[in-house]
């Protein structure tokens, strides 16, 4: 009877919500791929002790209920609604809003979801009716705030396993370092270093949880990886068996790391500094490049670029190092700002603030490495940052929720140099002109829109030596699409795409789980493309290598230690920003 009453209330409230939405503005349905992306973006901050915050106007909760709800919130909701529930890609869920809605309304909303993107947590089986009731009460209480992360906190986690003076003075192994791949083993908190020549695992290295990216130092000697729990590991590629030499935790949740690359009239800064950005607390840290000793912390809290309202939780998304100046380019998600951080004097940082659009996420360089193309995903735009002039060159309208990874550069047969992004929210691929000199009419405009397999794309890739453009779709709800990739002939884009059945080629067990195919990555020579076939941690996964010239299967890499492989980065291509 209780469940029937809930369904009855749901019918009334959902009708009311629909009418209310129509009265305000039409809301486009959200693709299942987008829902999967938002719902899967859990926050490691959930395990951090926090204060039990009580709102006397909210329904009562026991301490046990509050702690259980807090855990669910950080696993399921924080990625979309923010740690402080101020709203990010999802709506704000602060008590001034939720108390007025009431428990019954919130229960229906959580249970059944909405066309605007809220997953149907109860009817999908993710949460029980009791958990939905608990969450409806939880969001009416004050959001508990995680602790800050200070210089003292950073230094307490800083470890140097091998001091610089004790490291090799020359390369002590026979590996072709440029063709080594760093592959994230998401759920084990490790990376696998894999020899791209022999396809053998060199070493499995302990890192933070769910390493988000791997970055190579300017010289190519060091590999830096950052876990979503804020842990940065520094790996010396010259050791007989490459391994950790230093580590630090720069925050409680993080995504991005890079190293200084500039060498010019202001000095030689190659390999001298490392920068890492945190989701929580909202800040970035600059460290010594040879030991990860923390030198400087800079907060990113501030005003948004559009309404110019204060935001307490502007997360640091992508970071890259300029090739034109001693600068790091720091993209701040919620405020929509790009910070040009001049590191020539760490004790007197000069920061140029550029405003583009919310919510800045990932991106990559154009082929000249002058223009950084950054996706403002919920604004459906790409900001073009001129690293030479320190200015915003353009804001480009693209498809729904651009998610390029680093994007893809190639020469379009008609429009010259272009940079490409796929999208989470629709099936399109946007090609943006990037040559304001020889192709001025097409510069920083969408010159062509390709049709892909479907929404749910995360990464797109090409290579200067390749005639192909690859796009994955790992979050598409159709297994045939999520387990394959689309390949385009750059010289004949109008003919559409060829589908490569990557998961089928992997030859995993029929009950092998999702087998999502993710992140095409070229080898050093640009004649192979590697894909991760990503299944659950209790299922077999694999890496699949494709011959770029023939589009035929070349190799399958299987090993019991390859557990939940997601991102993988070729050392040479990462070092030189080749994509």
To 10 degrees, what angle do helices 2-24 and 129-138 make? 50
**Residue 359 has which token pair?**
């919510």
Strand boundaries in 377-414, DSSP class E: 381-386, 391-397, 408-412
Residue 439 is a catalytic residue: no
Range 352-357 contact pairs with CB under 8 angstroms and sequence separation of 24 or more = 352/390, 354/385, 354/390, 354/391, 354/392, 355/305, 355/392, 356/305, 356/381, 356/383, 356/385, 356/392, 356/395, 357/305, 357/306, 357/381, 357/383, 357/395
Given 141, 212, 311, 403, which residue is catalytic?
403
Q: 338 and 346 in contact (C-beta within 8 Å)?
A: no
Q: DSSP secondary structure string, 145-207?
A: PPP---HHHHHHH-EESS-GGGS-SS--S---GGGEEEEEEGGGTEEEEEETTT--EEEEEE-
Cα 430 from Cα 451, distance rounded (Å): 9
Q: 378 and 37 in contact (C-beta within 8 Å)?
A: no
**Residue 365 has which token pair?**
């360089």
Q: How far is CA 202 from the centre of its chain?
A: 26
Given 80, 154, 287, 524, which residue is catalytic?
80
Given 77, 135, 154, 340, which residue is catalytic?
77
- Which residue blocks in 428-549 are alpha helix, DSSP H? 479-482, 502-506
Cα 378 from Cα 29, distance rounded (Å): 14
From the CB of residue 412, how many other CB atoms can be counted at a distance below 10 Å? 20
**Residue 504 has which token pair?**
């089928």
**Residue 508 has which token pair?**
């995993």
Residue 403 is a catalytic residue: yes
Residue 468 is a catalytic residue: no
Given 141, 212, 311, 361, which residue is catalytic?
361
Residue 373 is a catalytic residue: no
| Rg from Cα positions in the chain | 23
Closest of 527, 544, 547 to residue 483, by C-alpha: 544
Residue 77 is a catalytic residue: yes
Residue 17 is a catalytic residue: no
The DSSP call for residue 441 is G
Cα 117 from Cα 400, distance rounded (Å): 13
Q: What angle do CA 336, 393, 380 make, to 5 degrees?
A: 45
Closest of 490, 546, 538 to residue 514, by C-alpha: 538
In DSSP terms, which residues pair with 363 in a beta bridge? 374
**Residue 3 has which token pair?**
């469940």
Given 17, 81, 141, 568, which residue is catalytic?
81
Length of the chain: 579
As annotated, the active-site residues are 77, 80-81, 118, 361, 403
């Amino acid at each position: 009877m209780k469940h029937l009453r809930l369904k009855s209330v749901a019918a009334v409230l959902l009708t009311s919500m629909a009418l209310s939405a129509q009265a305000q503005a039409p809301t486009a349905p959200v693709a299942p791929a987008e829902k999967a992306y938002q719902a899967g973006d859990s926050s490691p901050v959930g395990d951090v002790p926090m204060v039990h915050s009580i709102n006397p106007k909210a329904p009562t909760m026991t301490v046990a209920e509050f702690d259980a709800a807090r855990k669910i919130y950080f696993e399921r909701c924080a990625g979309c609604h923010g740690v402080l529930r101020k709203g990010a890609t999802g709506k704000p869920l602060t008590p001034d809003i939720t108390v007025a809605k009431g428990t019954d309304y919130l229960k229906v909303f959580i249970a059944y979801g909405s066309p605007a993107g809220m997953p149907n947590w109860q009817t999908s089986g993710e949460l029980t009716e009791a958990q939905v009731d608990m969450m409806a009460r939880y969001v009416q209480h004050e959001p508990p705030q995680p602790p800050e992360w200070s210089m003292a906190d950073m230094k307490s986690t800083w470890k140097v396993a091998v001091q610089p003076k004790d490291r090799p003075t020359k390369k002590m192994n026979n590996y072709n370092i440029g063709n080594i791949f760093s592959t994230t083993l998401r759920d084990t908190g490790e990376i696998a270093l894999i020899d791209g020549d022999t396809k053998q695992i060199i070493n499995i290295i302990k890192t933070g949880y769910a390493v988000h990216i791997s970055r190579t130092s300017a010289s190519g000697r060091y590999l830096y990886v950052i876990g979503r729990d804020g842990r940065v590991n520094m790996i010396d590629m010259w050791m007989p068996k490459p391994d950790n030499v230093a580590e630090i935790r720069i925050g409680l949740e993080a995504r991005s790391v890079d190293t200084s690359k500039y060498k010019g009239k202001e000095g030689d800064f190659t390999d001298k500094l490392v920068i890492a950005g945190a989701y929580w607390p909202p800040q970035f840290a600059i460290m010594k490049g040879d030991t990860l000793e923390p030198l400087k912390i800079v907060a990113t809290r501030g005003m948004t670029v559009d309404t110019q309202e204060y935001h307490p939780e502007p997360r640091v998304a992508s970071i890259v190092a300029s090739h034109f100046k001693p600068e790091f380019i720091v993209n701040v998600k919620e405020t929509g700002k790009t910070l040009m951080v001049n590191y020539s004097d760490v004790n007197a940082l000069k920061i140029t603030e550029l405003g583009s659009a919310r919510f800045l996420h990932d991106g990559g360089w154009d082929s000249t490495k002058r223009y950084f193309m950054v996706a403002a995903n919920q604004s459906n735009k790409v900001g073009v940052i001129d690293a030479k002039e320190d200015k915003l060159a353009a804001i480009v309208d693209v498809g729904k929720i651009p998610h390029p990874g680093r994007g893809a550069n190639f020469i379009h047969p008609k429009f010259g140099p272009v940079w490409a992004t796929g999208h989470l929210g629709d099936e399109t691929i946007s090609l943006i002109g990037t040559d304001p000199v020889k192709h001025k009419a097409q510069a920083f405009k969408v010159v062509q829109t390709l049709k892909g397999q479907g929404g749910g794309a995360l990464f797109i890739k090409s290579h200067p030596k390749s005639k192909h453009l690859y796009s994955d779709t790992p979050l598409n709800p159709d297994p045939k699409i999520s387990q394959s990739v689309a390949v385009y002939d750059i010289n004949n884009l109008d003919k559409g795409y060829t589908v490569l059945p990557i998961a089928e080629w992997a030859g995993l067990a029929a009950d092998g789980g999702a087998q999502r195919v993710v992140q095409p990555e070229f080898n050093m020579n640009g004649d192979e493309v590697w894909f991760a076939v990503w299944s659950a941690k209790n299922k077999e996964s694999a890496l699949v290598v494709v011959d770029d010239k023939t589009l035929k299967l070349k190799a399958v890499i299987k090993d019991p230690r390859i557990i939940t492989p997601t991102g993988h980065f070729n050392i040479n291509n990462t070092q030189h920003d080749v994509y």
